[in-house]
Every structure is written in C-alpha cells, then in structure tokens.
Amino acid sequence: MTHARTRTPVVAGWFTDAPGPDFRLLGTRCTACASVFFPREDAFCRNPGCTGGELAEVPLSQRGRVWSFTDGRYRPPSPYVSDPQVEWEPYVLVAVELAAERMVVLGQAVPGVSAADLAVGMEVEVVPGVLNEDADTTWTTWHWRPVEVAA
C-alpha cells in the first residue's frame, strides 16, 4: 500500500509552491524605500534611513551568478535532518549574487552537482527541491542549479 506524503515547505512563505519553471524565492520589498529582504521581513523595514513603509511580498530573480561555493563533507549536526544509518553524501552549498536585488542568497545545489562542477561567476537558477522526507511529510526547499547543465 502506498502512503502519500504531504509536501510542506521547510519554512512557510520563503518560496512559491509552483512546480518547474515558475518556482521563485519569495522576499518582501519596502513600499517606502524599495529595500528587498530575504529571508522576508514582514514587520519592519530594516533600512535605518527609511521612515517605514509596508512590506509587500516580491518574487526574487530566478537567475544569478555564483558568488562562492563550498561543500559539506561531514554530517551537519541537528536540526539538519539526515539518517545516521545511511552513509553521508556530501552536498554543495552555493552563495548566489542576484543582480537586480544586489544581494547574495545561500542555498544547496541540486543533488549530483559537486564543487568541481562550479566556478565563481557561473550562472545558476533556482529550482524546487526536497530537503528530507519523514513518515508523513516531504519537506521542500530551494536548490541552485547551474544553467549550463540543466537536465
């Protein structure tokens, strides 16, 4: 008997639930000073020179360029979720510079990408991904994927 897991974002409101090409990270933008925040600020604009505006949800650019990257050769501690019975699979972390927002956003690379596949300045795009699964839930996240090797 198959057991359907619920797909739940690891953090609510940080990205759309749109599949495939419409997937976007979600930030907020101040209506007074146009500063963009990710992770989203919903209470106060953090620009000290701003008199304070409304914070409206805004999708971030889908593509950016690699600012830097690294990988995790050892199992990170909790609250990162991984099965200690399964051999640790290193994954890659990518810091991506978004030109329009003039900010750098960190994320995991899509599975299968290694540090050797990346270079600073390379173009990447944001895609939906799975962080981990437990009995009832598929915890979803965002991944960065090099544009050239898009499969």
| Interface residue with Zn ion, options 26, 50, 95, 104 (CB under 5 A) | 50
Q: Token pair for residue 69?
A: 């990257």
* Binding of residue 113 to Zn ion (CB under 5 A): no
CA distance 113 to 123: 14
Question: Which CB sits closer to Zn ion, 29 or 143?
Answer: 29
| Interface residue with Zn ion, options 11, 18, 33, 147 (CB under 5 A) | 33
| Interface residue with Zn ion, options 16, 26, 38, 47 (CB under 5 A) | 47
Which DSSP string corresponds to 29-73? EETTT--EESSPP-S----TT-----EEEEEPPSEEEEEEEEEE-
Question: Which CB sits closer to another protein, 2 or 78?
Answer: 78
| Interface residue with Zn ion, options 15, 25, 30, 101 (CB under 5 A) | 30
CA distance 9 to 26: 12
Question: Which CB sits closer to Zn ion, 5 or 46?
Answer: 46
